[in-house]
Structure 1
């Protein structure tokens, strides 16, 4: 998997978000490319972010940098960990769900 942007390690952390829990990259609907965060996308593209729509949430668009598996948006938004390797996701990422998925965390998630 090629992760674009300002990546700082082989698990997909970037210069903006590099805690132990920052291990996912998101495939952006607008370009089909994986970036660690919206800031990396903004700094490295010449187009606006287009959020995924709820009807697209079965799209495999979340790359786990630890186990290298791709999850659907729905799987990611409804879990605190990767379903394959159980790596804990950064709970603060939900603050940006409106940018990536056009919705807030509480409107689509079960936890």
Structure 2
């Protein structure tokens, strides 16, 4: 008796150059699945598309926060330099950096 060859499961694999997406497999809680399912339904995306979109956003947000912080720091230094120049022009002694920054923050608190 000859052994019967089993047919491979699923469709044939694409060549690496033809692949559009890469497969990820991970485990999650039932609660996470419920959240993702609900979000996918609300956005009109599949669960896989929703996961991919959210992961992509997490990397974008990390960069966006870094850019925002860098811009804020640069503006703060520019403001402090401007304030110190005004104080020098008026003949006043320079205030410490933190005193000027706390003056900015005092307006918001």
- TM-score after normalising by structure 1: 0.18
Higher strand share: 1
Higher helix share: 2
Higher relative contact order (CA 8 A, sep 6+): 1
Q: Which has the larger radius of gyration?
A: 2
- TM-score after normalising by structure 2: 0.18
